[in-house]
Amino acid sequence: MPKERPDPEKLLQRAQNEEENSHRGKLKIFLGASPGVGKTYAMLQEAHDDRVKGLDVIIGVVETHGRKEVENLITEFEKIPRAKIHYRDKELSEFDLDAALKRHPAIILMDEMAHTNAPGTRHKKRWQDINEILNRGIDVYTTLNVQHIESLSDDVAQIIHAPIKETVPDSMIDKADMIELVDITPEELLARLKDGKVYYPEQAEIAAESFFRRGNLIALRELALLTTAQRVGTDVILYRQNQGIQHIWPVKDKILVCVGPGSPSLKLIRAAKRIANSLQAEWMAIYVETPKLQSSIDKKNSAIQNLKFAEQLGAKTKILSGFDIVKEIMMYAREQNATQIMIWKTVNRRWHDLFFRNLADEIVRHSGEIDVYIMTGQRSDVEIPKSNPIKEIINWKAYIGSMMIIGLATLVNFILSAYLASSNLIMVYLLAVTAIALFGEVGPSVLGSLLSVLAYDFFFVPPYYSFAVADLEYFFTLLVMLIVSQIISHLTILSHRQTQNAQIIEKQTLALYTLSQLLAAARNEEKIVDIGSVYIDEIFNSDVLVFIPINNHLEIQGKNKSKIAMDEKELSIAKWVYDSGQTAGFGTDTLSDSKALYLPLVSENETIGVIRILPRNKVIFTTDQKYLLESCAAQIAFAWHKFQLHRHQ
């Protein structure tokens, strides 16, 4: 398969990441299933090897817990003296961050990443100390038990029947340049615990009765292995993207589900979920939006709802945009290293498949080493939402404009016919068809193409003022003219819509950047609301209102407060969103009858207001759009909260 052209956006993002990380230290995490597996010892051994190579390695924090092999290893390293913290008539010793930064070694060892610092230190958590060290360009080796990863803490709490009090955010795990799994069997760990190599004897006896049960250790070991495997899987994808590798590496099962509108996609999604569970595989659901399909709003909303259903079942979802559905699906599948593709195929009559391309068959034809699973059903099983003709607005102006342009082209040809051969007049009609295609709509473009052929035949092909064709040569000319005009029209529309999509993306990016800049410069609450409303309106083509509580009542603020009438139902939804701090309304599963989407404005875990977004095109917001909306809402809430803090200082 030929090598695809690299995605410019991904290349730019990659360059930005490399630029950001060029001055940042490297983070290596020694991950274990539980205490006592040898994480600290493995970290010290690697640090010893680095020291032998001539690197400047020092100890920031290393906890020995009475382990002789660890105590023997740390004697050869320089140590940062502990800082003394006085708290409630006690003297506590903690890591001295300022001393470490002043010393500025090449590598610093920081044991127990999830540790909570004593009150009075600069940062509440040790991982925050590590983050500051990394930002100063110093490499860090650290240790972490799997139960302290934030996203796994609830699962671990159910396993060990005890809450996890100290956690590290997943963002720190994602920032790690290397993760090394330090692993031993539960039997070996229990033997180490019994021999006093994990805790002191009195502590070991208590630990053996609670945390260090064989069942707990097996489950925690599986979590540690899965976490490491997921990280390695991510590294595989990044390596393949960086090297431009197109063929699939079947290192683990990954399922890609192709979603569309209608109930068949729901059956497909449920089947994918069952297969993913049986294979313990990651799965994704995608929908390809293309200008070639003149889908109604109802069909697009149905597809987005199906994607939401897949997301609820645990899939990662994505909306792709392109002109060739098969190409977009296969490019994404190879980019994500998918090993299986699942797609629905409607069983049609044989004559239908002879003349119309079937998406499932095309996917199989281009799948290569990727396995394709096809679910089939009769056409009567396909329930695709039908649009309401009353709701569909026909752009009559475009059709009238199309007829006027062809009429003008005919008038021009009447003038030119006295000087040019009739075959040369075709160029004027092709120019007219191209101009009509700039409207960006298929209907007027097809009409213009047909009218141009008919007008040329009627006025400029003998016998004149008749649709009859006397010479076979003219018939061939008319046929070619129709085909060429259709091709020109089609390509012009695709180019026009591609330009529109690029302009929309550029507009959204620029507006989001401008929003952050203007919010930072705002000097009062009213200005913050006005700026936020205007820019969300521009980004999402929506009518925007902001509700702020005044005297325990939500009141509309900003420039648009007098333009949009609100009924009691809409006000009650805004009140519910404010009280609960949850999203509701259009496109959600909560109070979905509303025509607008309601987002809470949350800052510092406090809801300070509600923002109402009513899309003018009545299309449900995609997952990516909701993330962008939440980002905008977070910026508005942060600016509001920041202003309130300054006011009360």
Percent of the chain's residues with pLDDT above 90: 10
84 pLDDT higher than 60:
yes
User: Where does CATH 3.30.450.40 sit in the chain?
Assistant: 522-648
Neighbours of 468 (CB within 10 A): 10
Nearest to 95 by CA among 54, 56, 138, 63: 63
Whether the CB-CB separation of 338 and 254 falls below 8 Å is answered with yes
DSSP string, 483-547: HHHHHHHHHHHHHHHHHHHHHHHHHHHHHHHHHHHHHHH--SHHHHHHHHHHHHHHHHTEEEEEE
Distance (Å, whole) CA 493 – CA 470: 34
The residue assigned the tokens 């250790």 is: 217
24 pLDDT higher than 80:
yes
pLDDT digits (tens, 9 = 90+) for 345-366: 876 666 555 555 678 888 888 8
pLDDT digits (tens, 9 = 90+) for 204-255: 555 555 677 788 888 888 888 878 877 766 666 555 666 565 566 655 788 9
Sheet holding 371-378, edge to edge: 316-321, 282-289, 254-258, 340-347, 371-378
Q: Which pLDDT band, with edges at 50, 70 and 90, does 203 fall under?
A: low
The residue assigned the tokens 């998406």 is: 359
User: Where does CATH 3.40.50.300 sit in the chain?
Assistant: 24-241
Least confident of 201-205, 342-346, 551-555, 602-606: 201-205
Distance (Å, whole) CA 645 – CA 622: 34
Q: What average pLDDT does this structure show over 322-348?
A: 83
Neighbours of 423 (CB within 10 A): 14
Distance (Å, whole) CA 185 – CA 218: 8
**Average predicted confidence (pLDDT) for the chain:** 77
Helix (H) or strand (E) holding 377: strand 371-378
Q: What average pLDDT does this structure show over 614-634?
A: 75
Strands 83-87 and 178-182: unpaired
> Residue 359: its pLDDT value, please?
82
> Residue 406: its pLDDT value, please?
87
Task: Report pTM.
Answer: 0.47
Question: Cα dihedral sign for 157, 160, 163, 165?
Answer: negative
391 pLDDT higher than 50:
no
Composition of the chain by helix, strand, coil, percent to 5: 55, 15, 30
Q: What CATH number was assigned to the domain covering residues 24-241?
A: 3.40.50.300
CATH topology of domain 522-648: Beta-Lactamase (3.30.450)
Q: Which pLDDT band, with edges at 50, 70 and 90, does 508 fall under?
A: low
Nearest to 528 by CA among 645, 649, 646, 642: 642
CB burial string 22-40: b at 16+ within 10 A, e below: eebbbbbbbbbbbbbbbbb
473 pLDDT higher than 60:
yes
> Residue 242: its pLDDT value, please?
61
Whether the CB-CB separation of 574 and 610 falls below 8 Å is answered with yes
The residue type of 349 is R
Q: What CATH number was assigned to the domain covering residues 254-381?
A: 3.40.50.620
User: Where does CATH 3.40.50.620 sit in the chain?
Assistant: 254-381
pLDDT digits (tens, 9 = 90+) for 51-82: 999 999 999 999 887 778 888 888 889 999 98
Residues in the chain: 649
Q: What average pLDDT does this structure show over 475-502?
A: 69
441 pLDDT higher than 80:
no
Output DSSP code: residue 116. B
Sheet holding 178-182, edge to edge: 78-79, 57-61, 107-110, 139-145, 27-32, 178-182
10 pLDDT higher than 50:
no
CA atoms within 13 A on the CB side of 551: 1
- Start-to-end CA span in the chain (Å): 64
22 pLDDT higher than 70:
no
> Residue 29: its pLDDT value, please?
93
